[in-house]
Amino acid sequence: MWNSQAEAISRDALAELQLHQLQRLLRRLTRVPFYKNALAEAGIRARDITSLDDLTHLPFTRKTDLRDHYPFGLLATPLEDTVRVHGSSGTTGRLTVVAYTKRDLRTWSEVMARTLAAGGVTRRDVVHVAYGYGLFTGGLGVHYGVERIGATVVPASGGNTLRQIALIRDFGATVLCSTPSFALYLAEASAEVGVDLYALALKTGFFGAEPWTEAMRSEIERKLGIRAYDIYGLSEVIGPGVSYECDQHAGLHINEDVFLPEVINPATGEPLPDGVKGELVFTTLTKQALPLLRYRTGDITALNHETCKCGRTTVRMNKVSGRTDDMLIIRGVNVFPSQIEEALLHVPGVSPNYMIIVDRAKNILDTLEVWVEVDAEAFSDKLGRLADLQRAAERHLYEIIGINAYIKLVEPNTIARSEGKAKRVVDRRDVYQIKG
């Protein structure tokens, strides 16, 4: 265990610590006008919070609140005290911006170190990080956790699979960190170029940023000859390192001394007991730059407070089994259908009638196809114009969502109209078919 004081703390001591931190957080939040108003509206002052049960009286924070205060409106520290920003997609073109102070970055490295150590990483390991580096939190988040442990980090970032295979082989990587679908893609590409992954030094992998099933875990373990651990997180809360699997592979331990979890009924907001699935909600207990109160993640899971065989006392969450909203995760990138719609609306000649088809070729590589109707005039025009339109739409979509899509232009009135709410998305992958 990286930090047994935090990971195996007694439940009583943990509750005491969490209450103390929650009271401090509420005092800090009054510096943020948004929270000052929300707390005043709810009629709550920091001194009214005398037990953790009082948490349920506090207001929720939603992704739209971050978007509405773009970019820095929810910061609780002056910009000069923040040393890093990251971002992820919001429901429309706008980024969800998150920020960190020096201490926030230390907290992040600490929780990532716990995550990696739970899968056996030590300073003797060589860790190949194939999560994207950049605004996405995956690359840099994992990176600093590796350095904190003192292992050797290879900041490969995403893309260029053949080069990645060569680096893993030449540098003797023992640990792979990537999305689960990239791991399978890597296995396939290695086979094609005749690299035997079993002959390499790889022994462990940490996979997350998108949902994956137990079936995918078995496939990754078999094809790469490694043990595969699930890691979970979201930018708003910190990035990767919010929760992690231990050797038991029996749920993900939440770093509860810094992230206070709840599972609620998404329709009523009522808290749900252990074992009942609902929406996961986090309160960040110690974050300085962007503290969040009862943040609604949109992820569906259930909690389990039973003590784990590994000796950690922290609560576990089941593998994420769905979303409460329509967010798609395509090749590790969060995409909202509303972003696709917005992109299409800016291409003259295409209509707002569209259908999004997400698939997973060979169970590995996500594909995104968008069928969209063009207006009659464009369709009757020369073929060359259609090809131009298709390219323009693909380019525009790439600029907004950051991944390549195939756009298929269809004649007016070919996409089925629904009587109720339009069904715009067909997701053929089985990523959320998780038992329990």
Interaction site with ligand DLL (CB under 6 A): 88, 131, 136-138, 208-211, 230-235, 239-240, 297, 299, 320, 329, 334
Coil, strand or helix: which one is 40?
A: helix
CB atoms within 10 A of CB 198: 10
Nearer to ligand DLL, 49 or 333 (CB): 333
Work out how close the CB of 297 gets to ligand DLL at its nearest, in angstroms, rounded to a whole number. Answer: 5
Nearer to ligand DLL, 174 or 243 (CB): 243
Helix, strand and coil content of the chain, in percent to the nearest 5, comes to 35, 25, 40
CA distances from 265 to 13, 270, 272, 302 (A): 28, 5, 6, 11
What is the rounded CA–CA span in Å between residue 415 and residue 259? 45
Work out how close the CB of 293 gets to ligand DLL at its nearest, in angstroms, rounded to a whole number. Answer: 17
Nearer to ligand DLL, 95 or 410 (CB): 95
CB atoms within 10 A of CB 391: 11
What is the rounded CA–CA span in Å between residue 182 and residue 392? 28
Work out how close the CB of 137 gets to ligand DLL at its nearest, in angstroms, rounded to a whole number. Answer: 5
Work out how close the CB of 211 gets to ligand DLL at its nearest, in angstroms, rounded to a whole number. Answer: 4
Work out how close the CB of 63 gets to ligand DLL at its nearest, in angstroms, rounded to a whole number. Answer: 9
Tokens 């907001």 sit on residue: 269
**DSSP strand pairing (204-208 vs 227-234):** parallel
CA distances from 395 to 134, 159, 358, 388, 410 (A): 21, 19, 18, 11, 18
- For residue 29, give the nearest of 296, 293, 297 by alpha carbon: 293
Is the distance from CB of 366 to CB of 354 less than 8 angstroms? no
What is the rounded CA–CA span in Å between residue 237 and residue 224? 31
Nearer to ligand DLL, 246 or 372 (CB): 246
Work out how close the CB of 312 gets to ligand DLL at its nearest, in angstroms, rounded to a whole number. Answer: 18
Nearer to ligand DLL, 230 or 373 (CB): 230
Work out how close the CB of 210 gets to ligand DLL at its nearest, in angstroms, rounded to a whole number. Answer: 6
Work out how close the CB of 306 gets to ligand DLL at its nearest, in angstroms, rounded to a whole number. Answer: 21
Nearer to ligand DLL, 136 or 336 (CB): 136
Nearer to ligand DLL, 58 or 234 (CB): 234
182-191 b/e with 16+ CB inside 10 Å = b? bbbbbbebbe
Nearer to ligand DLL, 89 or 288 (CB): 89
